[in-house]
Amino acid sequence: MTIDIPGYRPGTWVLDPAHSEVTFSVRHMMISKVRGTFGIKNATLIAPENPLEAKVEANVDVASIDTNDEGRDAHLRSADFFDTENHPTMTFASTGARVEGDDFFIDGDLTIRGVSKPVSFEFDFGGFGQDPYGNYKAGASATTVINREDFGLTWNAALETGGVLVGKEVTITLDLQGALQA
């Protein structure tokens, strides 16, 4: 199967970290959500003629976590959560791409805290275009939901009112811009 994506060009695409971010949200106290960001170390997309044969590799700097609360961020970097001293990088390596109806997915292995699990990111292509400096750029957003406990992120605290402090489900959202390499 082949798909047509208007503006798509084969080649090697490299992420522009200044115009990209990884964000997440998780329930807090069962009543609200905490949101945060991670810094992207690097990401590369090898794009052949058929977009469904594309390969993606990405690395995220886990120690860069920012939830707008220094105390919480330090706790998230600790062995209770990400253990950044022993696991400084979160990685994603694609294993395939597929279309279901009007939706485009990139499947792959997400590794957090040394644990790899298959995930599927639903992609939404923002488009393609040339910047003022002659670089051909692409933009996309992608989202997945994971169970943090599947990756060994099991710390929690019971609440007196019932429930727990931190939810299990984490929504990961990628807002990406990349440049086609000459």
- Identity at 24, one-letter amino acid code: F
pLDDT average, residue stretch 135-151: 91
What backbone phi and psi angles, to 5 degrees, belong to 42?
A: -165, 160
Better pLDDT: 2 or 11? 11
Residue 130, both tokens:
């040339």
pLDDT average, residue stretch 81-101: 92
DSSP letter, residue 51: G
**Helix (H) or strand (E) segment spanning residue 71:** helix 70-77
Could you report how far apart the first and last alpha carbons of the chain are, in Å?
28
Phi/psi zone of residue 28: left (φ > 0), alpha (ψ -120 to 50 degrees), beta? beta
Using 50, 70 and 90 to split pLDDT, how confident is the model at 88? very high
pLDDT at 163 over 80: no
pLDDT of residue 158: 63
Helix boundaries (H) for 20-69: none
pLDDT of residue 180: 93
Phi/psi zone of residue 73: left (φ > 0), alpha (ψ -120 to 50 degrees), beta? alpha
Report whether 177 contacts 139 (CB < 8 A): yes
pLDDT average, residue stretch 90-114: 92
State the pTM of this model.
0.85
CB within 8 A of 60, min separation 6: which ones?
22, 38, 39, 40, 41, 89, 90, 91
pLDDT at 164 over 70: no
Residue 13, both tokens:
């695409």
18-56: pLDDT as tens digits = 889 999 888 765 666 888 999 888 888 888 888 888 899
